[in-house]
Amino acid sequence: MNQIVFNGNFVQANEKIAGTANRGLRYGDGLFETMKMVNGKILLDDYHRQRLFYGLALMKFKVPAGFTWDVLIKKATELARNNNCSVFARIRLMLFRDDEPLRQGGNGKVNYAIEASSLDRSYKSFHKEGIITGLHPDIRKSCDKFSNLKSANYLPYVMAAVWAKEKNWDDCLILNSNGRISDSSVANVFLIKNGRIFTPALAEGCVAGVLRRYLVDELPKRGYAVSETVVSISDIESADEIFLTNALYGIRKAAVFGKKMYAGEMSALLYKEFIEPMNFGN
């Protein structure tokens, strides 16, 4: 039986850690980070750290002095070793407030749980065949600071994933309240047009993905032109390539969006240059 960490303690994964009064369960009052571990190290850990603590501050959590990123990573690393998965693992960190009624606002005290489980080999290679995507007809994400968080209130993404499954797609793109592309059910969206790379700006309501930020930071350093901007449906349809990014898969090319088929040569090159070295601990 695998273990989990709850508020610093190692417990069995099937042990109850929260009741029905849990604010994360009742109201989606929480945050989470999904991280990739390779050879005992969290990839892009400083990007995860910055996003997490920004979210805690924005959501007015009370962070005690001993609650540090180093402590969390030490616990996650030990957990992965205990669960025999530290070579190649998914680490999920969940944070939520103490139990209190909604109108009392919560005392803001941080509770947390960590899970560690093995990742299969599909997360370690580029998928040459690409994925099938489409567009959800009804979801419209708001464009505010909270929309950039990895919030426990995940309804738009849950419904996008349900829609993708019903349509036999691999993923589903989501529009914002302005009718423009925000992100997908599990990833940030990038498009390539005439050798230039574009991605929806954070002001467009997308989650502030750690791999998205890494690529936006690193692409220009290696000679690639990248723009954070507004992306319309017609931009997607006229793109030369589309690729989706998250912390686990890295880069996945979209082979199909609606009725349009896409190439993936540049997406494959970007994977080889930016993702492959991380997957092998380089």
Give just the sign of the alpha carbon dihedral 217, 220, 224, 228.
Answer: positive
281 pLDDT more than 70: no
265 pLDDT more than 90: yes
Q: How many CB atoms within 10 Å of residue 26?
A: 14
Domain boundary among 85, 119, 153: 119
Residues 160, 257, single domain; the answer is: yes
Q: Quick check: is 241 in a domain?
A: yes
Q: Quick check: is 65 in a domain?
A: yes
Q: Quick check: is 235 in a domain?
A: yes
282 pLDDT more than 60: no
Beta strands in 54-187 (DSSP E): 88-97, 110-118, 131-141, 171-176, 181-184
pLDDT at 16: 87
Q: Could you list the residue range(s) of the whole structural domain that residue 183 is in?
A: 131-279
Residues 142, 274, single domain; the answer is: yes
Residues 105, 244, single domain; the answer is: no
> What average pLDDT does range 224-252 have in this prediction?
98
Nearest Cα neighbor of 149 from 60, 212, 59, 259 is 59
* Mean pLDDT, the chain, integer: 94
Residues 68, 101, single domain; the answer is: yes
28 pLDDT more than 60: yes
pLDDT at 82: 98
Residues 108, 230, single domain; the answer is: no
Domain boundary among 84, 119, 154: 119
> Quick one: pLDDT band at residue 103, thresholds 50, 70, 90?
low
Residues 153, 90, single domain; the answer is: no
Residues 202, 142, single domain; the answer is: yes
136 pLDDT more than 60: yes
189 pLDDT more than 70: yes
Residues 136, 115, single domain; the answer is: no
How far apart are alpha carbons 16 and 19 in whole angstroms? 8
Largest Cα separation within the chain, whole Å, is: 54
pLDDT in tens, 193-216: 999 999 999 999 999 999 999 999
Residues 108, 168, single domain; the answer is: no
pLDDT in tens, 113-130: 999 999 998 999 999 999
| Number of domains comprising the chain | 2
Residues 139, 113, single domain; the answer is: no
Residues 114, 138, single domain; the answer is: no
Q: Quick check: is 124 in a domain?
A: no
106 pLDDT more than 60: no
> Quick one: pLDDT band at residue 97, thresholds 50, 70, 90?
confident
Prediction pTM value: 0.94
Q: Quick check: is 135 in a domain?
A: yes
Half-sphere exposure of 125 (CA within 13 A, CB side): 6
Q: What percent of the chain has pLDDT over 70?
A: 96
Residues 108, 143, single domain; the answer is: no
105 pLDDT more than 70: no
Domain boundary among 119, 145, 179: 119
pLDDT at 115: 98
Left, alpha or beta for 191 (phi > 0: left; psi -120 to 50: alpha)?
beta
Q: Quick check: is 248 in a domain?
A: yes
pLDDT in tens, 34-77: 999 999 999 999 999 999 999 999 999 988 888 999 999 999 99
> What average pLDDT does range 95-124 have in this prediction?
83
218 with 274: CB under 8 angstroms? yes
pLDDT at 101: 67
CATH of the domain at 7: 3.30.470.10
Q: Quick check: is 50 in a domain?
A: yes
Q: Quick check: is 16 in a domain?
A: yes
pLDDT at 107: 64
pLDDT at 104: 61
